[in-house]
Amino acid sequence: MPDFGLTIQDTLYPVLWVLVFPGFLFTGIVGLVITWIDRKVTARVQYRVGPPWFQPFADVVKLLGKETIVPRGASRLAFLGAPLVAVAGATLVSTMLWVTLIWREGFVGDIFVILYLLVLPSLAIIMGGAASRSPLASVGASREMKLVLAYELPFVIALSAIILKAGGALRIEDILAAQAARPFIASVSGVLVLLVLVMVIQAKLGLVPFDQAEAETELMGGALIEYSGAPLAAFKLAKAMLYFALPVLGAMLLVGGASFAGKADEVVVMPGRIAGLAGMVLGFIVLAVVIRNTNPRLRIEVAMRFFWRKVTVLAILAVAAAAAGKAYGIAWL
C-alpha cells in the first residue's frame, strides 16, 4: 500500500475535533444550556417560572422521536438537506474557532472561510423555506434573504477594521497574536466594531428585533413552519450552537487569545485574558437576552434600513479609525 505520510492520529484527531470537542457535541451541549438561560431570563422578565434546565435537551430528544413529514409538492432533497447544511456550518465554525484558540492551528484566509460558513445556516433556512412550497414559509425565506443582505455588509466592513488593526492578517491565529500587548476592544475602532457585532449577532441568531423570518405572531413559524421531527430538531440545534459560537468569535476578535508565543516560541498563558474572553462571551449573551426582551420586532424594511444606514456607518467609522491609528501609530484608535 502507498504511504501517504498520515498516521492514525492525523486522521483521528480532526474527526474528534469536529464530532466531539470542540465541535458538534461540545458546542451543542453548551449552546442548549445557553438557550435555557435565555428562556429562563425571559420567563422571569414576564413574571413566569420558566423551564427546568433540561428542557432544551428534552425538546431536541422529543423532536428526534417525532415523525418527519415532507409537505406535498416539496423538493424532498432540498427540504431534508437544509437542516444538515445548517448544523454543518455551525459545527465547522465552532471547530475552527476553538482549534485556533486552544491549539493555535489555522490556515491562511481562515477568517474568510468562517465568514462564508456563518452564512450557511441562513442559506439553509432560505433553502428549506423555499423548498417546502408553503406560502408562509416562502414569505419567511424571503425575509431571511433580505435580512442576510442587510447585515452582511456591515459585518464584512467591521471585519475589515479588525484585519487593518492586525496589520493585514488574514489568519485568526495572527489576529489573536496581534492583541498580545493590547486587545482591540481597548480602542475607538474596537468599541465601534463591538457595537456592530452586537447587532449582527442578534440578526444571525434570529432574535427580536430581527426575528422577521420566524415571526410566530405573523407567520406562525415562518420559513420553518412545515418542519417537524428530526429536521426541526437540527434547525433548533444549529441555532443553539450559533448562540455559543458567535459570541466566542466576537470575543476572539476583540480580546484576543488566552496564550501567546513568548521568547523562543514558548507559550505564555495569560489568566487575565482567559477571564476577559469568558467575560466578553458572557457579555454578548447577556446583551442578546436584554435586547430580545426590551425591543419589539421591526418590519423587514425598517431592519434593512437600520443595517444599511446606521450599522454600516458605524462599521465604516471603525475602519476609518483603525486606518488612522495604523497610519499614525495611535494605539487607542
pLDDT at 249: 96
Residue 132's identity, in one-letter code, is: S
| Grid cell listed for 294 | 426590551
Task: Answer yes or no: are the C-beta atoms of 141 and 147 closer than 8 Å.
Answer: no
Q: Where are the alpha helices (DSSP H) in 100-228?
A: 110-117, 120-131, 135-165, 172-177, 188-204, 216-219
Low-confidence ranges of the chain (pLDDT < 70): 1-10, 259-270, 272
| Cα separation, 175 vs 180, whole angstroms | 9
Give the pLDDT confidence score for residue 261 in this predicted structure.
Answer: 56
**pLDDT for position 16:** 87
> What is the structure's pLDDT at 107?
84
Q: How many CA atoms lie within 13 A of 228 on its CB side?
A: 8
Which runs of E-coded beta strand occur in the chain?
A: 259-261, 267-269
The per-residue pLDDT for 321 is 97
For residue 61, what pLDDT is reported?
96
In the chain, domain spans: 16-328
Q: What's the confidence (pLDDT) of residue 268?
A: 59
**CA separation for the pair 222, 139 (Å, rounded):** 7
